[in-house]
Amino acid sequence: MNKLDVLAKINPQMKAVLAKEDELAGDANDTSVGFEQMRENYVAGRAFWAEGGPVMAEKRDFAVAGPHGAIPVRFYYPTQEALRGCSAGSPETPGIVYVHGGGFVLGNLDTHDRFCRILAEKTGAVLVAVDYRLSPEAKFPSAVEEVAAVARYLHERGAVHGIDGERLAFAGDSGGAHLDLAATLYLREECGGADWVKCLMLYYGWFGLKDSASMRLLGGPWDGLTEEDWLYYRTMYASDVAELEASPYANLFLNDLTRDMPACYVAAAGLDPLRDDSAALAAILEEHGIPCRYEVFEGVIHAFLHYTKMLDEANDALEHGATFYRQQLGW
């Protein structure tokens, strides 16, 4: 009710992407089919979009010990041309922890493989993707704790993998962007500090708003983010939705975001119901002198980063995030 006509406002490339999505297996946005069928549809649909792209010097799967058991991760080592003068495996190479989106319910290392490779190539850093446990099997704050555990491991043991543990960053999309910021704050408040986290690349994340103009005006079957869908994801993520509203590691605006924060690249989709979360976060950071670049990519919807095969805005967002990262790290 009272929604904008999003499908009339998306740009031509975004329209072509949605037409292609209709050809692919299943509708991963349909929460009525249940999370198990959603996962099958999501994996099948994302397989096409993950094809192609940059070739890595090495991709290696590994497991990091975590608070709830072993956490699968995947290391992406860019080619020598992308490494900006350092050799692959050099301890001088900074690292990026990538956390995938999917509403805390969907996604794995393969569904986001293409833009992990793109970011590794464009940043010249070693990228480490995290396969955190999904909900509803694992409930909040499990994912926050697991993402933080991987970052702590790389901080302490990164040299074993050719990563400078004093120069780490987070990147992620949607729920992954949420977990990036949540894990950074968890490390800062619960684990003795996070000054070694130098940069965050946050793509269209939810950061804690319960209501906003963008939530009222946007969201539909094209992105799976109606009010009913959003409630579904939150009930999958937490045993009690009220817990998310009260916890500083879910409602991230409960934290003091004016101090001890890394530099942040914050990207939003212009036709995304979560757009105002990014706007609010960026406004706080900018007001208090935290290095920040905020961009709104017009004419596209939530999750647009997947569509680098067909969508200029997806490639631009990854390029701009990588440029901001290199500038902040002097890399």
Say how far apart CA 248 and CA 262 lie, in whole Å.
Answer: 18
d(CA 39, CA 102): 9
Rounded Cα distance between 228 and 98, Å, is: 28
Which residue of the set 100, 161, 302, 306 is catalytic? 302
Say whether 223 is catalytic.
no
Annotation says 180 is catalytic: no
Catalytic residue among 272, 276, 277, 278: 272
CA distance 331 to 329: 5
Whether 302 is catalytic is yes
Straight-line distance from the first to the last Cα atom of the chain, in angstroms, rounded to the nearest whole number: 48
Mind spelling out the 3-state secondary structure of the chain?
Answer: CCCCCHHHHCCHHHHHHHHHHHHCCCCCCCHHHCHHHHHHHHHHHHHHHHCCCCCCCEEEEEEEEEECEEEEEEEEECCHHHCCCCCCCCCCCCEEEEECCCCCCCCCCCCCHHHHHHHHHHHCCEEEEECCCCCCCCCCCHHHHHHHHHHHHHHHHHHHHCCCCCCEEEEEECHHHHHHHHHHHHHHHHCCCCCCEEEEEEECCCCCCCCCHHHHHCCCCCCCCCHHHHHHHHHHHCCCHHHHHHCCCCCHHHCCCCCCCCEEEEEEECCCCCHHHHHHHHHHHHHCCCCEEEEEECCCCCCHHHCCCCCHHHHHHHHHHHHHHHHHHCC
- Exactly one of 112, 155, 161, 174 is catalytic; name it: 174
Residues designated as active site: 174, 272, 302
